[in-house]
Homo-oligomer: A and B are copies of this chain.
């Protein structure tokens, strides 16, 4: 079964948020919003991402909230997108 990993995060510190984006990109995930990434994932990749995120935010848990969802094809395919704002791969991230 093809799974997808969705990661959404709430990190107000610019430097830490930027590190989070770089890390998630390094794991092969694609930026879909300023603070959301998604990509095909095995359970093993999902565990690696979880471990990496946990390391990245260590000591700053009170300031942040990161949520990981492992989506089945049914859940992934239920996705509805409204609006046309898109992100490219760089850190500032914003293109249209």
- Interface size range on A against B: 35 or more
User: B residues within 8 A CB of A96?
Assistant: 62
Interface centre among A54, A61, A71 (most CB of B within 10 A): A71
A82 close to B36 (CB less than 8 A) = no
Within 8 A of B (CB), among A45-96: 50, 53-54, 57, 60-72, 74-76, 78-86, 96
CA distance A32 to B6 in the complex (A): 15
Contact A32 B81 (CB under 8 A): no
Residues of chain B with a CB closer than 8 A to A8's CB: 8, 33, 36
A69 CA / B82 CA spacing, docked (Å): 12
Chain B positions within 8 Å of A66 at CB level: 81-83
